[in-house]
Chains A and B, each alone.
Chain A
Amino acid sequence: MSWRRAVAVALVALTAAAAVAASRMRVDNRLERWVDTDPAEAKRYHEFREQFGSDEFVVVALSGVPLFDAEVLDAMVAAQERLEAVPGVTRVDSLAAVYRDLYGGEDPEALEAEATSTPFYRGLLLSGDSKVTAMLVEVDPVAEPQARHRIVSDLRRAVAPLEAQGFSVELVGSTVLVDALDELSRREALRTFPAALVASMLVLALLVRSWRGMAVAAACSGATVLLTLGLMEVTGRELHMMSSALPSLLWVLALGNSVHVLQRYQRLHEQHSVDDAVSEAVADATLPGTLATLTTALGFLSLVTADMAPVREVGLFAALGLALSLPVNLVLGPELIRLLRVPARRSVARAGAQWSARTVLRRPRLVLAVAALVTVVAAAMIPRIRVASNPLAFLPSGHEVTRAYRSTGAKIAGFYSLEVVIQTDVPWTDPRVWPVVDGLQARLEASPVVAKVVSPLDLLRKLRQWQRGFGPSDYALPASREEAEDLVAALDGRGRQLVDRLVTGDGRTLRLSAIVNEMDEGSFLELVAATRQALAQLPGGVNGWVTGMVLRLVEAQQDLVSSQLRSLGFACVVIFVVIAFGLRSWRLGLLSLPPNVLPVIVIFALMAVAGIPLDAATVMVASVTLGISVDNNIHLLTDFRRERWLGGSRRLAAGRAVDQVGAAMVVTTATTCIGFFSLCLSAFVPIREFGFLVGSAMLIGLAADLWMGPALLTATEDTP
């Protein structure tokens, strides 16, 4: 047995073992995985959680019934008790709780007066028109991937009897949204990815005109994916929101090189035996394949410097996967071609590529001028791209959660909180602190995205009102520190719990919870910036900061986007260096950049025009585009250099290079494009947008490689 066959057998055995390991792979989409970017922020948040408890909540909005009818309140109390019994629920704030705990389940008229006579409950537990009430369910999911899903299911079960009693029930909040996104993405991935795979394989079979050829390419890509997933599993990794993209990413990147080997083989097999054609195809494809893989792998490897662990993981395993794809494509693939006796077929793509080359090579300068114009126009549009997303827009507009968010957001409470922590030199019961806290609360409430600010001073006002007999006129701050301290000292266990959620034991650290009713990240970040500015202006003796789970997630996403963009910049440098060294020509290195960078610029411009934000999902498009473009470009440059070395003119060399690799470029692009465009049928917006953008990027990349590449090579000097 030759060493190649031995390596191929070993790879098959490893792939089989990896498939077993990959089948055990767990999926962990917990939010907590994303929020370890800044250790100082993480420490602050953990301190906040220890001091005040969880800031994650679900809003159960109830309407459609007269809220202060005794029977309605009884039903709400029953629901309150079912919600309190749900594992993972730490607290439920609602009018039902007030009715039960303060009114003993009696005197609904008195409860109505209590709820409507002061601003205390307005906007949070009761809408302005008193037609909607909210039950704020504080949750603290355990560190387990399915915890949120279980909580949301249990919550839905707990409130289901209310719907039977005529209530209109809607659930909103980050826990619900994350669960809905998770659920839909899973369902849609299962529905669309296999369809996309089948569609792209059919196109591949059609273009290479051989089922056996298609099987070889699919086997190579599949083996790369399985080996990578197996490696992740045995090293204790789990799939998460970002690494879930790895299988399709590696599939596409691995497919590029295997198609290049296959197409070279099919062309050579027209005149040579299978063995000779395989050997020569491998010899031809080894340098460009290695350079292409190295370039893309190094680009991904640059992500290991990112702050976020999931991004580091993706960077590392994408690079490892690409490294694994090299022996698979250069050893296993050729052995499979030999084994299956893949027939020689003239690809239908070859004629198209040849026609394209002829056209371009007649007017290279015109092509370059058009490319320059497109680049300038596209670059001018890039500043319009939004770097903030709206996770709600990930769901279809008719989705139950989207509808709930729309109808609830305008009426009551909000979807998540921005937590403001204030530290003072004197206890919170000191009247000197009150204007500062009230001032900050007023500034927060002035924001159009803040539905309500939960402040310990409002609680103090309420305590005073309760203490003095529930009269609305007594809803005011105490007259002195002593009165405030007496109010706090008179609290029973339940009251103490309320205060403990807003003030620490020593009374010097306070929490203001700004309940936000806007899902657009941009608006939220404006609020964060305005709050930070307000906190910077606090008087001496008082200081504060912002924190919260959602803030950390949004900042993590911003970090993710910037780390991806940094990685993209690094990848450009890597492309130049690898090609310059690999082909021993710094000019070819430089010439490789424009066809690779143009698709990225155009795709960003397309996102700006289509209003697709740059977020955790869409920022990956640039990396995929670059990966595929580089593969094609390196194959073209390698063949161009060889043709030049054989003595042909620039035009002849460029024409021959396109003739040799153009078909493979078209096949790879068409195959992956069909797959990605199939994803546009998905109901999950990120999948749909990802499919559309990558598909478009592939086409633009092909155009750049097929037209701009040869045009550049013939319009400038080179030193092979």
Chain B
Amino acid sequence: MTLFRAVVVLVVSATVAVAGQPRDLPSLTRALDDAVRSYDTSAATVVLSEARVARASADFPQLGELHARAALAVAELLRIEFEGFPQGEAERRRLLGLRIDAAAEEGLHVLDGLPETSELQRIRADLIATMIRSDFRAKKYEQEFLTAVGRALELDESNARAWVSSAKPYLFAEPQQGGDVAEALRRLDRALELDPGLESARLLRAVAHDKAGNQAAAERDWQAALRANPQCRPALERLQSQP
């Protein structure tokens, strides 16, 4: 047992002694889903910490997957904060970027030890996507991202989330760099066919419609996302900002 592992077990034991029993896997999964649904970064960070601690004492694939998902949730929620941050606040933005990278790298590290599945490859792709915040990083990570997305769809063509991930490069890249809003829409439509309640697909399709100049369709998707999840922060902010 490494010294680090011993320290973690000690800390967990102390935490348990003070706060009672740690949450089990279903509780943690529910807590993570709630955090994601409510766009609550702090709650997601707590789940990530607990998953980290739990894995230190008992490592099994389901817990690993939860750990990776929690890392992705934290990275994506921080990424949403990052996008909303004013450009002038360079230092705080950069620190936020470092936190995103830390969460994403933790998730990727966890995935390295897990068996390959479509969903885990999709999580890998999305973790990488959170780190792509500049042209430089796009070049640095694009191949890794595309490989992971391709592999996710190769392993399971019905993975709706993987279709959402595959739409991202088409949606966010400049046309000269391979950006193609129509293709992004096609992929997001496919994702929604497979899982009509998938919030991320709905939100990205709203963005895609927006980019394509189809404001009415975008509005419909923002509204639908908000109906499905009244706490959907991007939809709320978007609809509130409209006159």
Contacts and interface: CB of A to CB of B under 8 A. Distances in A.
B94 A469 contact: no
Interface residues of A, number: 25
Nearest to B135: A102
Interface residues of B, number: 17
B140 A470 contact: yes
A490 B88 CA distance: 29
Contact of B174 (A71, A103, A492): A492
Contacts of B97: 104, 106
A103 B136 contact: yes
A623 B96 CA distance: 70
B133 A104 contact: yes
A71 B91 contact: yes
B58 interface: no
A105 B90 CA distance: 7
B134 interface: yes
A195 interface: no
Nearest to B139: A469
Interface string B162-178: 00000000000010110
A110 B134 CA distance: 12
A112 B91 CA distance: 18
Contacts of A70: 91, 94
A491 B94 CA distance: 26
A81 B87 CA distance: 10
Interface string B64-89: 00000000000000000000000110
Interface string A498-511: 00000000000000
A492 B177 contact: yes
Contacts of B135: 101-104, 466
Contacts of A220: none
A489 interface: yes
A78 interface: yes
A106 B139 contact: no
Interface string A297-328: 00000000000000000000000000000000
B137 interface: yes
A489 B139 CA distance: 17
B104 to A, nearest CB: 13
Given A490-B176, A492-B174, A106 B140 contact: no
B90 A470 contact: no
A78 B176 contact: no
A110 B137 CA distance: 10
A491 B174 CA distance: 9
B55 interface: no
Contacts of A280: none
Nearest to A492: B174
B174 to A, nearest CB: 4
Given A105-B90, A469-B139, A492 B133 contact: no
Contact of B139 (A470, A491, A493): A470
A438 to B, nearest CB: 26
Interface string A54-84: 0000000000000000110110011001000
B93 interface: yes
Q: Chain A interface mostly helix, strand, loop or mixed?
A: helix
Given A70-B94, A77-B90, A104 B176 contact: no
A102 B91 contact: no
Contacts of B90: 73-74, 77-78, 105
A101 B176 CA distance: 17
A119 B120 CA distance: 42
A526 interface: no
Interface in B129-173: 133-137, 139-140
Interface in B170-189: 174, 176-177
A491 B176 CA distance: 6
A102 B176 contact: no
Contacts of B87: 81, 105
Interface in A92-142: 101-107, 110, 114
Contact of B94 (A102, A105, A470): A105
Given A70-B91, A469-B139, A103 B177 contact: no
Interface string A462-493: 00001101100000000000000000011111
A110 B133 CA distance: 14
A250 B214 CA distance: 73
Nearest to A71: B91
A71 B95 CA distance: 11
Contact of A492 (B94, B139, B140, B176): B176
A107 B139 contact: no
B141 to A, nearest CB: 10
Given A490-B177, A491-B176, A492-B174, A107 B137 contact: yes
A105 to B, nearest CB: 5
B88 A104 contact: no
Contacts of B93: 105-106
Contacts of A78: 88, 90
A162 to B, nearest CB: 14
B1 to A, nearest CB: 35
A187 to B, nearest CB: 38
A489 B176 CA distance: 6
B94 A106 contact: yes
A492 B134 CA distance: 13
Nearest to A465: B139
Q: List the 4 closest A-B pairs by CB distance, nearest first.
A: A104-B134, A74-B90, A492-B174, A490-B176
Given A78-B90, A469-B139, 7 more contacts: A73-B90, A74-B94, A102-B135, A104-B134, A106-B93, A110-B136, A493-B174
Interface of B: 87-88, 90-91, 93-94, 97, 133-137, 139-140, 174, 176-177
24 contacts: A73-B90, A74-B91, A77-B90, A78-B90, A81-B88, A101-B135, A102-B134, A103-B135, A103-B136, A103-B137, A104-B97, A105-B90, A105-B134, A106-B93, A106-B94, A106-B137, A114-B136, A466-B135, A469-B140, A470-B136, A489-B176, A490-B176, A491-B176, A492-B177
